[in-house]
Every structure is written in structure tokens, then in C-alpha cells.
């Protein structure tokens, strides 16, 4: 089956572009980069076609990587239906975004470096998805974190970009720490890190251990998938180029946490407290991030908080046991969020870099293609039937209601908020009159074509790809009653959100400002993202940095270590200056000391019994 | 008879040695040292070391001490002036010397005491020394000849006039 | 009583050696110091000969032979060094020929 070729093509692309890209003409860089991802996509199709109908996992074992005592970890790749869904998303949307980047990055410096990093990211992400054990998954996990750092800080001469890259990496690391601990516990409990072994033996393991593993894996997922409390890096990650935001921070990398959680379903199914925690965190994050998104003025920040919120939905789905619903939403979210980001990228590109929505407006006449494709994404994310978002979101909400009704109601309110802020962004950007001073122009075809494809998927992808049925062979069955009433209520929430946004930003624009003035305190709190970054800074970052500086640097390093090393030198010097006095140059004192030494020797020999 | 001889020449040796150490003019010290060596030669004869006694007089007293005298006269060394003192030498040296002497006395007392009389040892003749020198001790003999060569060359190099 | 106890020879040797050490430590003239060294060597020679008598072994005599040779060589070279030192320092005072600081 040669599964290893799937990640290999982008890796080769990275190597070629990384080493030789500087001297290649742009066309060649494009060909290598886009071609490698397309080849990967084609190979995925071939693999899935060959392995259909994929009722069980297909595993390929390549070689033993670590062999130490009882620990044996191999480089193994596996494909089952869940992997198939992820592979198609990653390679398919990855290809579209690579094609889009040709147009978006055309005038940027470091062209070949960008595509090299993007290909490297694809390699790691595919490794993560194809991995058959937790360690290989972790390799991909860390690798995508690295590429995220490299790509967020792509404009490395801008301090806010490099700071954002650092923040992303460091916050991720906290999550990775949790993941590592979980891997240790998994080995402790099951003796192996293979998914097959874990799923086979999970039923017999003690619940406390499984809960611990589950919570630690959740910590890792919170870091990678930007849930409370580790979501703070994602809004800052918008400092990277927009294709990066679309690919990494919407469609693929941030979904790795959801994928990993879904993949660990045998553990979670037997650790109900851990699953409950996942659901609660997911609900809280979804609502919290949605509220922040209401007041943002940077178009990319709105969609960043939207991503955090939608990831919360996916975690709710996984947390209430509707694993396939969570993955379903992962897929539809990939379609419309990638489209929203790429579209906003097209808007920014047409306005030569303007990102503040207060300086946009009335663009629907000037960049119609962008407008209509983004509108497709907007109705999808708002949950308007029969488009993609409606199906997946309702699957999650119905399952949530069956589990705990308050989650359903929180999710529905969030759905209303989602619709509101997305359409607020749409109305501010495309309706009204133009409030800026640039000359908007439509984007080139190479950027518009992927938008069109994604728009089609956003509209039709819901009923075209029936993911829950497809994945029912992988996950345990769950009975969720179809309730038309609940579906109607959640859809109504979305439509109300759209209507309110229309009222406040198109019909009566003054209403928005008076609303903000009326709730000044609340608005100020939400606009400043509840000061979470500032709180973290004061509570965690500053004490650690100051503590390190005062205690570890000045105290331990300079005082103790340098002190002892220098102290040895100083003591030697002191000893030397004392001993130096013995070498007086006075021959008679030398002779005297010789005599003393001779006396000592005679005494010693005499006491030791003579020289016989 | 042997005892009397021993006592006379031992006394001469000790007195001359004290003189070496005490005299202020180097020439006087050198002459006293020659006296020490002469009396020691007689004591060697008493102990049956005929060859060594002869060598002592010829080499030591006759050559080495003459060399000393030549150098003293060459350098025109006068009497010693009382100037500097070495505290270390005086403070530490006196007790060390006393302790050393006591130690030697202690170890000597514990030696078995055989009597010495003239003619008690006949193996010190020139023939015996020569035989041992050229058979058992041949290697040291050859090495010392090289040593003398080195000493000659060294002395010439060190003491020559710079041109 | 016509035999001299061997220990007397050893006592004499020790006495001469101690006198040699005293001269070495307490005299200021280099040449006198050198002569004290020769005195010490002679004392040791006496010890060797005495022990050779006791053990009736001629090896003691051989050793004295070699000591004498080495002493002669040492005297030659040592006096040459003293000549050189005198040329450089113009003094025969053992305390003044050191050029080390302090």
C-alpha cells in the first residue's frame, strides 16, 4: 500500500525547496510545492480506493524505532475510516491553500521559504494522522507545532510576529507536557503505545488510571486545539500570513487535538469523568470565545476567536460521546473556516494590507467573487439549513441535549452569537459605503479558484459527505433521538443572530455604537478579551521570569556555580601566594628544609621498622 | 695500641673539623680540611682500607683541596664580614641539627659492636679493590669515567673567559 | 682492649657529619659552604669503610671509591660555577647572590 509515500511527497518538496529554492524561479518553486501536495492527495485517493470499503484498519509496520527492555515502538502507519476522513481533509484543503498561496504570496519576500515550511507542515501533519502509536503521533504533534512557530513568525523582522510565534510554541509546550505524561501513563498501564493495544485492553484498566490519562491527554489537546485555558496563542497567531491562518489555525493543526481525542475514544469511553471535563471545557470555550468575537475590529481576529469557539463545539461533540459528530463538524468547519480565512485574505490583499473592518465597507460591488464565496461560508457557519454547518452543528447539539440539556442551551446561544459576529463581519466589510482610502481590486484567478471550490464544499459538503454513517464502523454506537423541535430552535437562534446583525450594521448603523455606549463596562471587558493575556502575564509569566532572573540567574548561576568555580581559582591563588614564600631564593633556608626533611624521613623509616 | 692511635687521630679530625666551621678566613678552613682528610686516611688504614687511604691522600687532599686553594686565592676571598643572618637557618636549623644528632646517636647505639684492630680485614688491598672494580662494578666504573669527562667539559665551559 | 669498638667509628662519622651540616647552614662564604659539603662526604666515607670492615665485604670500599670520584667532579664543576657567580655578582656572600624579589 506504501502509506509512507503520503507524507513523503511533501517532505521531498520541503527538501528540494528548502535547499535549492533560493535559486529556483518562482514557477519552479510553485511546481515543487503544490505538486508535492497534489501528489500526496492523489496517493491518498489511490490508497483509499485500493483499500475500500475499509471496514477494518490497514496497518503497515516499517521498522522498530525504539527497543528498550519491554518497550518496543515501531514506525507504523495505519489507515482506517477516521484516518481516511482526516487524510482527505488535510491533503485536499492543503492543496487548495497551496494553490491560493501562489497568488497571495506573489509579492512577498522569502517565497521559497514559505512554501518549504508549508510542505514541512504537511509532512508532519500527515505523519500525525497516519501514526499507529502515540509516539509517532507525538512526533507529528511536535512537528506541526514547530512549523506553526516558523510560519507565524514568517515575517521575522516584525517583533509582534516573532513574539506571537514564541507564544504559540511556549503555550503549546505546556500542552505537550500533559501529552508526554499521558504517554508515560499509557505505557505504564498497557505496556505499549500502539492504538490497537490500547483499544484492546482499555476495558480492563482501572478507571482512576484511565481518568488520569484522559485528563492529561486533554491538557495536550487544549494546548494544540486552543481550548480554555491554553487558547491565548491562537488570536496572536494571526500575525502570520493568511494562508497559514487558514491551513494551520483553522483546518488542520488545531484539529489535531480533536483527532487525537477521537482516536483515544477507548480510553475516554471508560473514563466518564474525563469525558465530562472535555464537554464542559468545550462548552465554556465555545461560549467564551464567541463573546470575545463580538467586539473585535480586526477581521482576522474575529475569525480566530470563531475558530476557538468552533473547536469548542467539536470538543463538546467528543465529550458527550458523539465522536463522529465531532469529526463531522471538524470536516465542515475545515471547509467554511478555511474559506472565511482565505476570503478575508483576498479582502486584505485587495486593500493592500488593510485588516481593520472599520476602514472597510461596501466592497461587495468591487470584489464580487470574494463576496459571494465568503457569503457561502457565512451561511454555512451560521447553521442555515441545508448547508454544511447546519448538519454538523445540529448533530453535536442533539447529542449534547441527550447528555445534559444545559449544554444544548449554551450551545444554542453560542450558535446565535456565532451567526451574529460572522454576519457583523460580513456587513461591516461588504455593505454600506467604503470607509478607507485604498483602491480595492479583485484578486487573481489563482486565488479565486480555491475560494470557489471551498464555497461549493461549504454549501454541499454537509449532505454530500455523510460522515457519521461513514464513521459508525469506527466509533461505538450512540442512540441520539432525532428531535425536530430542538433542531428548529437552534436554527432559529442562528437566523435571529443574522437578523440582529443586519439591523445593527446595515439598517441602523448608529445602533451599534449606542449599544456599545449603553453597555460601556461590558463592552470594554469583551473588547479587551477579558484581559486574559494580562492576567496570565501577571500571574504566571512575570513571576517565572522575575523568579528566574533573581533566583536562578543571580543566585544559582552567578553566585553558586560561578562562585564555586571562581572560588576554586581564588583558593588556588591564595594557596599559591602562601606557598610562594617558601621559595625565598635563600640557599640557607633551602638547606635547612632539606635537613628537616631528612630528619623526618629518618624518623619515619625508624618507626616503620628500619630500612631492612 | 690501636685504641691510642684511634683516639689521637680522631681528636685531630674533630678539632680540625671544628676549625673548618669556625674559622673566618677560607684559607684557614681549607688547611684545616686537609688536616681532617689526613687523619681520616690513617683511620682508613686502621680499618684495613689500604687502597682507599692512599686514594684519599692523593685525590682528595692532594687534588681537590688544592683546587679549592687555587680558587680561593684566585677570587681573593677575604675574611667573612658579619652582615646578614638567615632567620630560617638559625631558628629551624639548630633544633633540627640537634634532633638529627640525637637520632644518629640512637641508631648507632643499637648497632652490634664488633671490635676493630689493625689487620682485621685484609680484603681492602689494591688487588681486591681492582678485581671488584673491573668485574662486578665494571659498568659504574665506565659510567663514572663519562661523568668525569662531562665534569671537565662543564668546568671549562663555565669558567672560560668570554672573548 | 686493643680493639676499637666499631661504634666509635660511627660516632666519629656522625660527629663529623653534624659539623659539616652546621657549617653548611651557618656560614656565609660560598667556598666555606662548599668545604662543609666535602666534610660531610668524608664523614660518610668513614661510615662506609667501617661497615665494610664489619661485614668483611670490599663493596664498601668500592662505594667510597665512587663517592670520591663524584666528589671530585662535583668540586670541579661547583667551583667553576662559583667563579661565574663571582663574575656576575662580585660577592661571595651566599645571601646576596639571590636575585629573587622580596
Burial of A122 (0-12, 13-18, 19+ CB in 10 A): buried
Are A44 and A5 in contact, with CB atoms under 8 Å apart?
no
Q: How many Cβ atoms sit within 10 Å of the Cβ of residue A319?
A: 30
Closest by Cβ to B158, choosing from C10, C36, C81: C81
Place of cell 448538519: A391
Residue B64 pLDDT level (bands cut at 50, 70, 90): very high
- Chain B residues touching residue C53 (CB < 8 angstroms): 47-49, 116, 120-121
Given its phi and psi angles, is residue B119 left (phi above 0), alpha (psi -120 to 50 degrees) or beta?
Answer: left
Read off the pLDDT of residues B120-156 as tens digits, 9 standing for 90 and up. 788 888 899 999 999 999 999 999 999 999 999 999 9
The answer to whether B129 contacts C58, with C-beta atoms less than 8 Å apart, is: yes
Residue B88 pLDDT level (bands cut at 50, 70, 90): low
Residue B12 pLDDT level (bands cut at 50, 70, 90): very high
C93 phi, psi to nearest 5 deg: -85, 125
Q: Could you give the CA distance from residue A164 to residue A359 in angstroms, rounded to a whole number?
A: 24
The pLDDT score that the predictor gives to residue A69 is: 85
Long-range pairs for A606-612 at CB < 8 Å and ≥24 separation? A606/B103, A606/B107
Cell, residue A601: 624521613
Read off the pLDDT of residues C26-51 as tens digits, 9 standing for 90 and up. 888 889 999 999 999 999 999 999 99
Q: Which residues, at least 6 apart from A88, have a Cβ–Cβ distance to it below 8 Å?
A: A44, A48
Cell, residue A259: 483527532
- Chain C residues touching residue B57 (CB < 8 angstroms): none
Burial of A153 (0-12, 13-18, 19+ CB in 10 A): buried
pLDDT over threshold 60, residue C1: no
Burial of A535 (0-12, 13-18, 19+ CB in 10 A): exposed
Whether the CB of B140 is below 8 Å from some CB of chain A: the reply is no
Expressed in angstroms, the distance from the first to the final Cα of chain B is 60
Residue B114 pLDDT level (bands cut at 50, 70, 90): confident
- DSSP 8-class letter at C2: -
Residue B83 pLDDT level (bands cut at 50, 70, 90): low
What is the number of CB-based contacts under 8 A between chain A and chain C? 23
A67 phi, psi to nearest 5 deg: -135, 105
Chain A nearest C-alpha distance from B95 (Å): 9
- Chain B residues touching residue C96 (CB < 8 angstroms): 84
- Chain A residues touching residue B107 (CB < 8 angstroms): 602, 606
Q: Could you give the CA distance from residue A379 to residue A318 in angstroms, rounded to a whole number?
A: 24
Instruction: State the alpha helices, DSSP H only, in A519-586.
Output: 520-527, 532-536, 542-547, 562-580
The pLDDT score that the predictor gives to residue A480 is: 75
Are B91 and C100 in contact, with CB atoms under 8 Å apart?
no
Are B52 and C65 in contact, with CB atoms under 8 Å apart?
yes
Place of cell 676571598: B77
Are A243 and A105 in contact, with CB atoms under 8 Å apart?
yes
The answer to whether A606 contacts B92, with C-beta atoms less than 8 Å apart, is: no
What does the DSSP assignment read for A105-161?
A: TTT-S-HHHHHHHHHHHHHHHHHHHHBSBHHHHHHHHHHHHHHHHHHHTTSTTSHHH
CA atoms A290, A296, A302, A307: torsion sign: negative
Residue C93, helix vs strand vs coil: strand
Cell, residue C99: 636575585
Q: Is the peptide bond before A579 cis (omega within 30 degrees of 0)?
A: no
- DSSP 8-class letter at B162: P
Cell, residue A372: 459571494
Angstrom CA distances, A396 to A226, A248, A310, A400, stand at: 19, 23, 11, 6
Best residue in B84, B88, B92, B103 for a mutation probing chain A (most A CBs within 10 Å): B88
Expressed in angstroms, the distance from the first to the final Cα of chain C is 59
> What share of chain B has pLDDT > 90, as a percent?
53
Nearest Cα to Cα of residue A493 among A416, A417, A383: A416
Are B6 and B43 in contact, with CB atoms under 8 Å apart?
yes
> What share of chain C has pLDDT > 90, as a percent?
55
C-alpha angle A507/A508/A509, rounded to 5°?
A: 110
Q: What is the pTM of this model?
A: 0.71
The answer to whether B105 contacts C14, with C-beta atoms less than 8 Å apart, is: yes
pLDDT over threshold 90, residue B95: no
Q: What average pLDDT does the segment C12-16 reach?
A: 92
The pLDDT score that the predictor gives to residue B163 is: 53
What is the number of CB-based contacts under 8 A between chain A and chain B? 38
- DSSP 8-class letter at A537: I
pLDDT over threshold 70, residue B24: yes
Q: Could you give the CA distance from residue C79 to residue B75 in angstroms, rounded to a whole number?
A: 11
- DSSP 8-class letter at A65: E
Closest by Cβ to B89, choosing from A592, A602, A606: A592
The pLDDT score that the predictor gives to residue A428 is: 87
Q: What is the CA radius of gyration of chain C?
A: 17
- Chain B residues touching residue A611 (CB < 8 angstroms): none
What does the DSSP assignment read for A375-411?
A: HHHHHHHTT-TTSHHHHHHHHHHHHHHHH-HHHHHHH
The pLDDT score that the predictor gives to residue A384 is: 85
Residue A438, helix vs strand vs coil: coil
The answer to whether C28 contacts B56, with C-beta atoms less than 8 Å apart, is: no
Residue B81 pLDDT level (bands cut at 50, 70, 90): low
Low-confidence ranges of chain A (pLDDT < 50): none
Q: Could you give the CA distance from residue B145 to residue C69 in angstroms, rounded to a whole number?
A: 9
The pLDDT score that the predictor gives to residue A611 is: 62
Amino acid at each position: 500500500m506504501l502509506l509512507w509515500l503520503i507524507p513523503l511527497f511533501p517532505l521531498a518538496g520541503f527538501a528540494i525547496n528548502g535547499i535549492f529554492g533560493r535559486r529556483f524561479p518562482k514557477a519552479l518553486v510553485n511546481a515543487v510545492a503544490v505538486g508535492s501536495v497534489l501528489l500526496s492527495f492523489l496517493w491518498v485517493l489511490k490508497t483509499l480506493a485500493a483499500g475500500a470499503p475499509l471496514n477494518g484498519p490497514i496497518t503497515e509496520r516499517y521498522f522498530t524505532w525504539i527497543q528498550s527492555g519491554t518497550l518496543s515502538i515501531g514506525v507504523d502507519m495505519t489507515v482506517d475510516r477516521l484516518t481516511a476522513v482526516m487524510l482527505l481533509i488535510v491533503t485536499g484543503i492543503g492543496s487548495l491553500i497551496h494553490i491560493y498561496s501562489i497568488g497571495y504570496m506573489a509579492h512577498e519576500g522569502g517565497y521559497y521559504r514559505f512554501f518549504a515550511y508549508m510542505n514541512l507542515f504537511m509532512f508532519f501533519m500527515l505523519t500525525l494522522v497516519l501514526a499507529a502509536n502515540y509516539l509517532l503521533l507525538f512526533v507529528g504533534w511536535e512537528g506541526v507545532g514547530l512549523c506553526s512557530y516558523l510560519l507565524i513568525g514568517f515575517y521575522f523582522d516584525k517583533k509582534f510576529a516573532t513574539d506571537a510565534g514564541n507564544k504559540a510554541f511556549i503555550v503549546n509546550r505546556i500542552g505537550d507536557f500533559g501529552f508526554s505524561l499521558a504517554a508515560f501513563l499509557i505505557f505504564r498501564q498497557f505496556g505499549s503505545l500502539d492504538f490497537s493495544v490500547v483499544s484492546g485492553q482499555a476495558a480492563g484498566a482501572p478507571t482512576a488510571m484511565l481518568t488520569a490519562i484522559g485528563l492529561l491527554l486533554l491538557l495536550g489537546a487544549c494546548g494544540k486545539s486552543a481550548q480554555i485555558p491554553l487558547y491565548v496563542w491562537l488570536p496572536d497567531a494571526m500575525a502570520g500570513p493568511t494562508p497559514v491562518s487558514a491551513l494551520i489555525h483553522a483546518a488542520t493543526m488545531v484539529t489535531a487535538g480533536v483527532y487525537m481525542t477521537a482516536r483515544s475514544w477507548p480510553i475516554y469511553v471508560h473514563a466518564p469523568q474525563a469525558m465530562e471535563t472535555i464537554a464542559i471545557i468545550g462548552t465554556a470555550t465555545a461560549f467564551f470565545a464567541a463573546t470575545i468575537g463580538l467586539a473585535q475590529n480586526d477581521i482576522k481576529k474575529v475569525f480566530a476567536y470563531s475558530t476557538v469557539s468552533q473547536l469548542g463545539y467539536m470538543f463538546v461533540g467528543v465529550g458527550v460521546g458523539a465522536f463522529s459528530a465531532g469529526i463531522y463538524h471538524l470536516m465542515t468547519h475545515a471547509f467554511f473556516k478555511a474559506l472565511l480565512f482565505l476570503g478575508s485574505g483576498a479582502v486584505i490583499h485587495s486593500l493592500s494590507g488593510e485588516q481593520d473592518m472599520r476602514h472597510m465597507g461596501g466592497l461587495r460591488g468591487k470584489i464580487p467573487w470574494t463576496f459571494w464565496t465568503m457569503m457561502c461560508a457565512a451561511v454555512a457557519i451560521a447553521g442555515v439549513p441545508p448547508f454544511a454547518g447546519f448538519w454538523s452543528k445540529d448533530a453535536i447539539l442533539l447529542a449534547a441535549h441527550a447528555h445534559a440539556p444545559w449544554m444544548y442551551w449554551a450551545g444554542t446561544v453560542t450558535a446565535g452569537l456565532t451567526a451574529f459576529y460572522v454576519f457583523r463581519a460580513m456587513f461591516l466589510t461588504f455593505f454600506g459605503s467604503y470607509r478607507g482610502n485604498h483602491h480595492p481590486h479583485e484578486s487573481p484567478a489563482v486565488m479565486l479558484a480555491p475560494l470557489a471550490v471551498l464555497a461549493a464544499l461549504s454549501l454541499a459538503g454537509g449532505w454530500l459527505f455523510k460522515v457519521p454513517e461513514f464513521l459508525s464502523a469506527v466509533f461505538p454506537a450512540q442512540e441520539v433521538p432525532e428531535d425536530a423541535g430542538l433542531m428548529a430552535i437552534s436554527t432559529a437562534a442562528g437566523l435571529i443572530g443574522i437578523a440582529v446583525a443586519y439591523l445593527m450594521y446595515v439598517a441602523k448603523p448608529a445602533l451599534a455604537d449606542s449599544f456599545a455606549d449603553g453597555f460601556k463596562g461590558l463592552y470594554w471587558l469583551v473588547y479587551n478579551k477579558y484581559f486574559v493575556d494580562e492576567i496570565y502575564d501577571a500571574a504566571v509569566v512575570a513571576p517565572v521570569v522575575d523568579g528566574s532572573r533573581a533566583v536562578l540567574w543571580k543566585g544559582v548561576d552567578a553566585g553558586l556555580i560561578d562562585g564555586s568555580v571562581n572560588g576554586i581559582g581564588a583558593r588556588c591563588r591564595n594557596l599559591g601566594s602562601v606557598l610562594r614564600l617558601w621559595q625565598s631564593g635563600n640557599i640557607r633556608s633551602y638547606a635547612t628544609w632539606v635537613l628537616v626533611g631528612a630528619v623526618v624521613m629518618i624518623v619515619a623509616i625508624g618507626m616503620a621498622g628500619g630500612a631492612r | 695500641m690501636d685504641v691510642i692511635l684511634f683516639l689521637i687521630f680522631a681528636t685531630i679530625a674533630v678539632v680540625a673539623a671544628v676549625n673548618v666551621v669556625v674559622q673566618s678566613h677560607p684559607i684557614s678552613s681549607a688547611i684545616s680540611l686537609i688536616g681532617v682528610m689526613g687523619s681520616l686516611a690513617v683511620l682508613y688504614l686502621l680499618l684495613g682500607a689500604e687502597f682507599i687511604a692512599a686514594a684519599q691522600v692523593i685525590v682528595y687532599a692532594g687534588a681537590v683541596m688544592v683546587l679549592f686553594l687555587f680558587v680561593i686565592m684566585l677570587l681573593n676571598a677575604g675574611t667573612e664580614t658579619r652582615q646578614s643572618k638567615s632567620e630560617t637557618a638559625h631558628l629551624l636549623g639548630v633544633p633540627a641539627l640537634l634532633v638529627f644528632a640525637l637520632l644518629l646517636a640512637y641508631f648507632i647505639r643499637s648497632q652490634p659492636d664488633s671490635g676493630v684492630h689493625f689487620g682485621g680485614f685484609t680484603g681492602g688491598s689494591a688487588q681486591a679493590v681492582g678485581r671488584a672494580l673491573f668485574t662486578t662494578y665494571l659498568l659504574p666504573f665506565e659510567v663514572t669515567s663519562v661523568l668525569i669527562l662531562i665534569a671537565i667539559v662543564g668546568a671549562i665551559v663555565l669558567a672560560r673567559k668570554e672573548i | 682492649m686493643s680493639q676499637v669498638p666499631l661504634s666509635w667509628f660511627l660516632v666519629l662519622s656522625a660527629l663529623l657529619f653534624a659539623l659539616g651540616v652546621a657549617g653548611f647552614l651557618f656560614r656565609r662564604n660560598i667556598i666555606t659552604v662548599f668545604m662543609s659539603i666535602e666534610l660531610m662526604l668524608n664523614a660518610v666515607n668513614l661510615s662506609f669503610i667501617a661497615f665494610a670492615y664489619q661485614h668483611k665485604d670490599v663493596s664498601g670500599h668500592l662505594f667510597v671509591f665512587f663517592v670520591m670520584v663524584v666528589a671530585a667532579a662535583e668540586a670541579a664543576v661547583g667551583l667553576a660555577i662559583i667563579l661565574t657567580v663571582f663574575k656576575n655578582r662580585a660577592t661571595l656572600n651566599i645571601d646576596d647572590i639571590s636575585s629573587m624579589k622580596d
